[in-house]
Amino acid sequence: METVTLYELNSRIRGILEDTMDQVYWVHGELSEGRQGPGGHFYGELIERDEESDTVVARARINIWARTYSILSLRFLDETGQNLRPGMKVLVKAKVSFHEAYGYALTIQDIDGTYTLGDMERRRQEILRQLEKDGIINDNKTLPFPNLPRRIAIVSSPNAAGYGDFCNQLQNNEYGFAFYTRLYPAIMQGQQAPDSIIGALQRIEDDNSVLMAHGSEPFDIVAIIRGGGAVTDLCDFDSYPLAACIAQYPVPVIVGIGHERDRTVLDFVSHCSVKTPTAAAAFILDHQAEVLAHLQDLTIRVPQIARMRVESERQCVHRIASLLPVSIGRMQERLKHRLDILEQRIIGLNPEVLLKRGYSITKMGDKVLHSAMDVQEGDVLSTRLECGEVLSKVICRLG
């Protein structure tokens, strides 16, 4: 058996790979690690997971040399609106390489941004379908929006320029509207963003409960805002737990996270979605202005409508009054005719009238008899006729 050094063995492996796998391959997988080194080179790891168990079934180191990375990273950002980062599904054009000291790796020559973009959209659609299946996707949208929202809870990074722009626009508005705002700080980009925003929303809900318990006014609306700059890390907002939290939130939520081109899941579940924090403030001010204009219009129209209504009712009363004597006369005639008919019916039922027609009334004591079964032999009966009364004694009962 031949004995060789590790370097010699790795050299042979390198030679075999270079001889047999000298072509390039399009490889898709998930970027699990990634960083740019001091020299501008990008180093990372590509993995593949089993779809059912989600366990890693394959992994490989990847390298993108500085010159190539400077070109690919800019193009990838332009195509997807994202920087390369862990968790992304990527399709890369790679050449197999092997180094005696560093081992097996894939040297990346190209990246297909449309593949990543498609995976991001697929993930977004899966979340939306799940929200629809759960029946909650439109819950926040159906909440009534306050006519005059004055108390606003803000979820944002405290150092974001967008947060300052939002507050300045509200406080210095041309209408003189007064607002009370409170910041609930949160991380607004990166993988920690969803949990951080959910935490801020929970704190707002807890504070609302305390305010209402003490008879104070709760927050009318919630604004989730993030400043401008490069449109990166938007896929962090495509989170089912965060989307479900906003969809079921008991207060109307406005989302303005500084993106001009792409939409996130949050845009579909919030009560209102706008492009930027400034647009969120403008939306609130415009809503207030519309309500104010409507109220001003009502202050003019209501007295006019009231006067018209009073005049209309006055004319109606006059018409009724002019018709009243005629109506009463007709009603009296109808009532008199009905009384005459009733009187004739009553007269026809008078016993005296019936007796004149040949009828008689037979009693036993004070009881009027209706059936032969009501008497026995020997009973004394009285029979009243038109003229006089006859007493008789029962000898025999027939029937």
Tokens of 326: 């005629």
From 56, 79, 111, the end of a domain falls on 111
Domain of 379 in residue numbering reads as 354-393
Same domain, 99 and 176: no
Residue 48, domain member (yes or no): yes
Same domain, 103 and 156: no
* pLDDT per residue as tens digits for the range 110-121: 999 888 888 888
Same domain, 156 and 287: yes
From 242, 265, 291, the end of a domain falls on 291
Same domain, 179 and 286: yes
Same domain, 93 and 194: no
Residue 342, domain member (yes or no): no
Residue 191, domain member (yes or no): yes
Same domain, 69 and 185: no
| pLDDT the model gives residue 230 | 46
Residue 306, domain member (yes or no): no
Residue 308, domain member (yes or no): no
Residue 49, domain member (yes or no): yes
| pLDDT the model gives residue 373 | 80
Same domain, 17 and 79: yes
Same domain, 105 and 158: no
Tokens of 30: 């998930």
Question: For position 195, which CATH number holds?
Answer: 3.40.50.2300
Low-confidence ranges of the chain (pLDDT < 50): 229-232
d(CA 206, CA 105): 51
| pLDDT the model gives residue 38 | 87
Residue 121, domain member (yes or no): no
| pLDDT the model gives residue 264 | 85
From 291, 306, 328, the end of a domain falls on 291
Q: How many CA atoms lie within 13 A of 342 on its CB side?
A: 6
Same domain, 232 and 156: yes
| pLDDT the model gives residue 107 | 93
Parallel/antiparallel/unpaired status of strands 151-156 and 221-225: parallel
Same domain, 104 and 159: no
Question: For position 64, which CATH number holds?
Answer: 2.40.50.140
Same domain, 74 and 169: no
Q: Using alpha carbons, list the distances in angstroms from residue 305 to 290, 291, 302, 309.
A: 21, 20, 5, 6
| pLDDT the model gives residue 362 | 78
Same domain, 283 and 217: yes
Number of domains within the chain: 3
Q: Give backbone dihedrals phi and psi of 148, rounded to 5 degrees, phi first.
A: -130, 75
Residue 338, domain member (yes or no): no
| pLDDT the model gives residue 302 | 63
